[in-house]
Amino acid sequence: MQITSTMAGTILQINISVGDQVENNQEIAILESMKMEIPVESQEAGKVKEIKVAEGDFVNEGDVLIILE
Amino acid sequence: MQKILIANRGEIASRIIKTCNKMGIQTIAIYSDADKDLPFVSEATTSFRIGEAPVGKSYMNQKVILQIAKNEKVDAVHPGYGFLSENASFAEEISKEGIIFIGPNPKTIQMMGDKILSREKMLKAGIPVVPGSNKELMTEEEAVAAANSIGYPVILKASGGGGGIGMVLCEDEKTLLKNLETTKKRAKTYFANEKVYVEKYIQYARHIEVQIFGDKAGNIVHLFERDCSIQRRHQKVVEESPSPFLSEGAKEKILQAAVRAAKAVGYENAGTVEFIVDEEENFYFLEMNTRLQVEHPVTEAITGMDLVEWQILVARGEALPYKQEELVSKGHAIEFRLYAEDPVTFMPSPGHIEVLDWGKGDTRVDFGYKAGVAVTPFYDPMIAKCIVHGENRDEAIQKASGFFDHLQLIGIKTNAPLFKNILNDTDFKSGKYFTNYLSVKRFN
C-alpha cells in the first residue's frame, strides 16, 4: 500500500517512523502547498515499511510518500 | 536608475513593471517553467527563465538571480513581497555587487525578521508589544513558565516565521507541550530558524497596521493605517482603510507609535508596522514587515501616491517626495484578495482559467493571471487583488458588490462567493469584526 501526495508542495512534517503501525485516517504527514498546511492521511491501516521523502522535500502530485506493508 | 530586475512573479511583478514604465526604467523579469505564460513575463522589457517550478529551483535561487542581475548590468533589484524580499543575506549579496537592493538595509531586515529580537528592540523603544516570552523557549519548563506568567490561551510562534505558517493556538499546558517540539522542528524546516516563543492570544482582536516610509536622510512618515482583521489561517483576505473601528484618538496614537518604531531602527524605504488592537483599543506591536506589502494599493487609493515610485526614489538616494503634513487620507478603500480556493473550506483549487472578465467600472484590479493560463500549485493561490475606492465606506462597499456581481471567472473555484457573503453581512457593513470573523461566521 502506498500513500501518495494529493498536491504538489513541500513536506513540512512527518509524523511516523519506519516500523510504526498506522491506523486508517491517521495523519501521517503535513504538506505545505499554496501557503496551506494540508494533512496527509493514511487510507488504510498497516505497518510503515519505507518513508520515501524527508522533511523539506518538494513533492509533486501523485508522488509516493510512504509505503505500508 | 536605468534598469531594474524584479525578483518576483505574478501580480506584484506586473505592478512594479507599471511604475518602471511610467518612470522610463527598463525591467528584467525572471520566471519559472510554471509561469512562462503569465502576463508579467511579456510585460517586462526582457525576461529570463530561471528554472523549474518549485521555489527552491526558481524564485528562491539566489545564485541564479544574482548572476542574471550581474550579466544584465542592472542598477537595482526589486524583491516584491515574499520569496527573497526579507532575506538579509540576499540583500547583502546584491549590495556587494554594487547593485541597489530596493528595500531597507540588510541589518534592519535581519533584526525585524527575527520576531524575538524585534520584540526586544520595540520594548526598548517604548512601544507596547503583545505580552509574551521575551526570549527563545528552549525547554518544556521554560515554555510552561512563560505561558503561565502571561496566561492561556497563548500562541506558539516561530521567531523566523511569517505568512501564517507554523503558528499554533494553545488553550492549555497539554496542547503547548504537545506542540512545542513539532513547532520547533517545523520552524527549522520551513524558516531555517528553530527559535520559538509564546505570545498572549487576544481573542477579540483587530489587526491594524501602519504603512511607513523612510529615506536615507532619516526622515520618516506614515501613510495611515490599514485594517486587515478579516483573515483565514492567519492570512489576510480583506483589507481596508480607514479602519472602521478605531477612534480618532487611538488611531493617532498607533500612527505615532509606528513612526517611533521605524525611527528606533533607522528605517529606510517602505515598511509596515503591524499591531494587534483589543476591544478597549489597547494596541500591541506584533511585527514589522520590511518590504512592500501585498495590500499597499489600499494606501495608494486613499493617499493618491504610487508607493513603488516612492521606493525607487528613496532607493536612489532622494528624499521622501512629501512631508507628513502634506499627506492626506481621502475617502475609503477596500481590497479583496481573490484566491484560487474553495470559498467554504478555503482548500486551494489550482487549475486552468477558461474565462476571465473583470467587468467595467473603476475598480482597480492588480492581476497576475489571464484567461487561458493555469493557476499552478507551486505558489500562493492569489489570482488578483481587487481594490475599490469610494467617498465613504458605504460607497466602497456598494462598488465592491457591483464588481463581484459582474466578475466572471470560469474554470477554477475562487473565493468570490465569500466576498459576496461578506459584503451582505450586517457585522461587516457596520464594521464590527475581529480577526476570528471568518472562523465564527461560517458562510456557505
CB A40 within 8 A of CB A12: no
CB contact under 8 A, B378 and A8: yes
CB contact, 8 Å: B348 with chain A?
yes
Average pLDDT over residues B39-64: 97
> Domain of A10: which CATH number?
2.40.50.100
Interface size, chain A vs chain B, as Cβ–Cβ contacts under 8 Å: 52
Average pLDDT over residues B322-327: 98
- B283-289 and B374-375 beta bridge pairing: unpaired
pLDDT at B302: 98
CB contact under 8 A, B348 and A37: no
Tell me the pLDDT tens digit for each residue of B256-308. Answer: 999 999 999 999 999 999 999 999 999 999 999 999 999 999 999 999 999 99
Average pLDDT over residues B303-315: 98
Give the span between the Cα atoms of B237 and B82, in whole angstroms. 16
Structural domain for A20, as ranges: 2-68
- B3-6 and B26-32 beta bridge pairing: parallel
Q: What is the dihedral of CA B111, B276, B227, B210, to 10 degrees?
A: -40
Give the span between the Cα atoms of B38 and A60, in whole angstroms. 21
CB contact under 8 A, A36 and B380: no
Give the span between the Cα atoms of B339 and B383, in whole angstroms. 5
CB B214 within 8 A of CB B231: no
* Least confident residue range of A53-62, B6-15, B391-400: A53-62
Cis peptide before B128 (omega within 30 of 0): no
Tell me the pLDDT tens digit for each residue of B352-384. Answer: 999 999 998 999 999 999 999 999 999 999 999
Catalytically active residues of B are 291
pLDDT at B7: 98
Per-residue pLDDT for B134 more than 90?
Answer: no
**Summary mean pLDDT of chain B:** 96
Q: How many Cβ atoms sit within 10 Å of the Cβ of residue B221?
A: 21
CB contact, 8 Å: A55 with chain B?
yes
Residue of A nearest to B380 (CA): A34
CB contact, 8 Å: A27 with chain B?
no
Contacting B residues, span 161-190, partner chain A, CB-CB under 8 Å: 163-165, 182, 185-186, 189-190
Distance from CA of B124 to the nearest CA of A (A): 33
**Residue in B148, B143, B152, B149 with CA at minimum distance from that of residue B183:** B143
Residue of A nearest to B379 (CA): A34
Contacting B residues, span 89-148, partner chain A, CB-CB under 8 Å: none
Distance from CA of B281 to the nearest CA of A (A): 31
Give the span between the Cα atoms of B274 and B272, in whole angstroms. 6
Domain count for chain A, please give it.
Answer: 1
Tell me the pLDDT tens digit for each residue of B154-205. Answer: 999 999 988 778 799 999 999 999 999 989 988 888 888 999 999 999 999 9
Q: Give the DSSP H/E element, type plus range, for residue B395.
A: helix B393-406
Distance from CA of A55 to the nearest CA of B (A): 7
Residue of B nearest to A35 (CA): B380
Among B165, B185, B347, whose Cβ lies nearest the Cβ of A32?
A: B165
For chain B, the distance separating the N- and C-terminal CA atoms, rounded to the nearest angstrom, is: 50
Tell me the pLDDT tens digit for each residue of A12-55. Answer: 899 999 999 999 999 999 999 999 999 999 999 999 999 999 99
CB contact under 8 A, B56 and A61: no
